[in-house]
Amino acid sequence: MSRGPRPDGQCSTEQFLARLAQTTIVLTLRNARLVAFCAPRDVGPDDVEAAVLVDGVDLQRILADAALTQPVDGTPRRDWCAR
């Protein structure tokens, strides 16, 4: 699971990016024709992790392409407050 900016982040930029990521997710899901939860697995009590496909595109990729999550391809982690 990747880590994106947090609403309670260390700076106003991180907090803004967290709201932007949340808005991106809401709008993406609202406009979707098909949403699929793939390979769900328990990761803790009351917590499940799954890949989410929106019209066949991984939601993680959508957020990564918008620079709203940490990269998963080995690229160095982003410092949200340095933007």
User: Whose CA is closest to 2, among 74, 82, 83?
Assistant: 74
* Spans of all domains in the chain: 12-71
What is the per-residue pLDDT for 75? 80
Give this prediction's pTM. Answer: 0.81
Please give the Cα distance from 83 to 9 (Å, whole number): 13
Q: Are 50 and 39 in contact (CB under 8 A)?
A: yes
Per-residue pLDDT of the chain (83 residues; tens, 9 = 90+): 557 899 999 999 999 999 999 999 999 999 999 999 998 889 888 888 889 999 999 999 999 899 999 877 778 888 899 86
Residue type, position 81, single letter: C
Give DSSP secondary structure letters for 9-59. Answer: -SSHHHHHHHHHHHHHHHHHHHT-S-EEEEEEEEEETTEEEEEEEETTEEH
